[in-house]
Structure 1
Amino acid sequence: MWTRGPELDFRTVTLPERDCDLVRDLLIVEEARTVVEIGLAYGSSALAIGEALLTVDAPNARHIVIDPFQQKAYNNVGWDLLCSAGLDSIAELVAVPSSLALARMVMDGVVADAAFIDGSHRFHEVFVDLYYLRKIVKPGGLLLLDDDYQPPVRDAVRYYERNVGFSEVPEAFATGSRMNIGGDATAEVVRRCRAVRLPDPPFEPSYEDYQPF
């Protein structure tokens, strides 16, 4: 069911099948047991994550989905899809802004193996999501980002790569979808999705070592 706007909305918002397959396969290789997802929308990436968790078949698998707009903007289409697939047995929907949900998870001591980020594309909100996720996802864990072709997303990730030790996994989405940067048909074509790995051990850089990004 499409719940808002013209058909283009579905194609823009929904992670393409080829990228969903790559997300699934990456999480299986990671043997992920707990995954945080920011942004549910129509649920395609959530199904891929659920499939990965079921394939790993670890005890106490957990899929924490954060989306404050699932009911208001999407009429619960994504969540209903997860439930119809039986994935509500391992998934939970947190219907508050990610900045609040992630902060609460840090306070609660939640530890995840990986995260998929596809929420707000505003620089400051992506930046905050990454700030908290580096405290939630285990050292050496994996962060997967959709819409890395959007400049605010790319810039936020670049800060953490240059200053906090995030390292790109370049082969992760080598066969995935490609987009022009910023949606500009004249701009460079890059991968739609990006994978980065957290440093192990984690570290806090000195302010004197700040690298412009």
Structure 2
Amino acid sequence: MRTTLRMAALTWLLAMTPFLLGQARTTAWVRTFTCSGNGIAQTDTFTLAPGEWRICYRPHGRGPFSVTLRDADSGLNKRLTNQTGPEVASGSSKGNYGIKSAYLVVHGSDDGWQVWVEHYMDTVDEWNFRQSQTPRKALERLGSWTGEAAEQTVTVQVTAPHWRFSHEQLGPGRLRLDVFDATGQCLLRACTAVSGIREAWIHQSGEFTVRISAIDTPWIFHIDAPVTPAGTQDY
């Protein structure tokens, strides 16, 4: 009886092996990074694995709307979409060129937008991809600034090459923040009408001007940068 059951189980396993292997190696689009925001912002860096991938975007509100892929190592740019509006549409841009680490620069409306990265991979490739990702470095706070409802300008000096800008509206009014580099280029613009923390990244060092316009609300913003171990330099 046991021999018969074992033979039956072995026969079933052999018959199902092609199906099971086929299921395990089925390829699909797998989301590996996502970010949402409004106005002008840069995302955190993300990994682009060898093979086929695509950058997807979904704007809200009216245009203009643009998304640029920037190589974090070389600084080279690739414009993925540039819609003048007023009507703007969701879409995606495929690629397989040799960029390993990148981030997105998004110019959109105050109504918001969402961007995400997908890789075309099977379950084995996805597992290998997830395992290859190094843990994010811990962040240390470089400074915090607070204020009341008013027009205000703050100048900050940041030596870190990659840093996170987070801000929070603390009252029921409206808040707008713009961050400019030393050349006057706007790197971040965010408008909020509800409380909650908002985050974006800036991928350069130097002197920056933060312009705050607050109506009926106090505010706070923070600058945090990845911790760099002593004796090393973050590029």
- Structure 1 length normalisation: TM-score? 0.28
Q: Which structure has the larger Rg?
A: 2
- Structure 2 length normalisation: TM-score? 0.27
Q: Which has the higher contact order (CA 8 A, sep 6+)?
A: 2
Normalized per residue, which structure has more helix? 1
